[in-house]
Chains A and B, each alone.
Chain A
C-alpha cells in the first residue's frame, strides 16, 4: 500500500492503526537526521515522536507530495526550534554540552545501518539473540552460553560465523 492510499484510508475510513505503516517506513531516517542535528538521544526521540504526531493531526493538509519529505520538514523545524530554545536556556553552546553524542548524518551511514538491519533480520532467532546479548547488552560468552543453554565454545563459533555472515551480507549490499 502506498502512502497516498494509507492517508486516504486514515482520513476517510478512520483507520488510524494504518498510521503505524507510515511510522515504521519513515521513522528510522527521520530519527537519524534529528539525532544528527540535536545530538541528544532523548531529545531526538521526543522530537521524532512530536513530528509524527503533528503530521497525523494535520494529515488532511498534506498535499500529496512526498510524505517522507513532508514529515522530515516538520521534524527539522521542530529540531531547530528545540535547538534555539536550548541555546536560550543555557549560556554554554549546545555543541559543548557534556552528555552529547556526536553522530553525523550521512546517506552512506544510513544505508549501512539499513543494510545491517536487513542482514540481522535474516538471521535465525538464536543468532539474533546471541549478537544482541553480546553487542548490545555487552554480555560475555559464558553468560550468553548460560542464558541460551549452549556451551561457551559453541557460542564463540556461532559468533564468528554470524560476524562473517553479516560482513558478507554487507559486502553484497555494497556491491549491488
Chain B
C-alpha cells in the first residue's frame, strides 16, 4: 500500500462510510429476496405434499370407480382390462416420482 496524504485520508474515510451504507442496503435487499424465495419454495413443497397425499388417492378412487361402472355394463372386456392396467402403471410411476421429489426437498 502506498503512503497516503491528508486529503487522501479524508477521502478514504468518506469512501468507507459510503461503501458501508451501500453494502448494508445491498445485504438487506439480498437477504429479503432470499427469505422471500425460501418462503415461496416452502409453500410450493407443501402444495406438492398435499397434491401427493390427496391427489393420488383421489385419482385412484376415481379410476377404480370408473372401472367398476364400465365393467358392470361390459363384462370381460379386454381393452378395458388393458386400459386399467396402463392407467394403474402410470399412476404408480407418478406416485413414485412425486415421493422421490418430496424426499429430495423436504
Which of chain A's residues have a CB closer than 8 A to the CB of B26? 23, 27, 31, 45, 48-49, 52
CA distance A136 to B35 in the complex (A): 31
Q: Count the A-B residue pairs with Cβ separation under 8 angstroms: how many?
A: 93
**Are B1 and A136 interface neighbours, CB within 8 A?**
no
Asked if A117 CB lies within 8 Å of chain B CBs, one says yes
**Are B16 and A116 interface neighbours, CB within 8 A?**
yes
Main secondary structure of the interface of A (DSSP, over half): helix
How big is chain B's contact interface, by range?
Answer: 20 to 34
Task: Tell me, rounded to whole Å, the shortest Cβ–Cβ distance linking A52 to chain B.
Answer: 5
Asked if A125 CB lies within 8 Å of chain B CBs, one says no
Select from chain B the residue with minimum beta-carbon distance to A20.
B31
**Are A136 and B27 interface neighbours, CB within 8 A?**
no
CA distance A174 to B1 in the complex (A): 5
Task: Tell me, rounded to whole Å, the shortest Cβ–Cβ distance linking A141 to chain B.
Answer: 15
Chain A contacts with B in 2-36, Cβ cutoff 8 A: 14, 16-17, 19-20, 23-24, 27-28, 31-32
Asked if B81 CB lies within 8 Å of chain A CBs, one says no
Asked if A74 CB lies within 8 Å of chain B CBs, one says no
Task: Tell me, rounded to whole Å, the shortest Cβ–Cβ distance linking B23 to chain A.
Answer: 5
Asked if A120 CB lies within 8 Å of chain B CBs, one says yes
Given known A-B contacts A111-B1, A115-B1, A120 and B9 have beta carbons under 8 A apart: no
The 4 closest A-B pairs by CB, nearest first: A136-B17, A174-B1, A16-B38, A135-B13
- Chain A residues near B (Cβ < 8 Å): 14, 16-17, 19-20, 23-24, 27-28, 31-32, 41, 45, 48-49, 52-53, 56-57, 108, 111-113, 115-117, 120, 131-132, 135-136, 163, 166-167, 170, 173-174
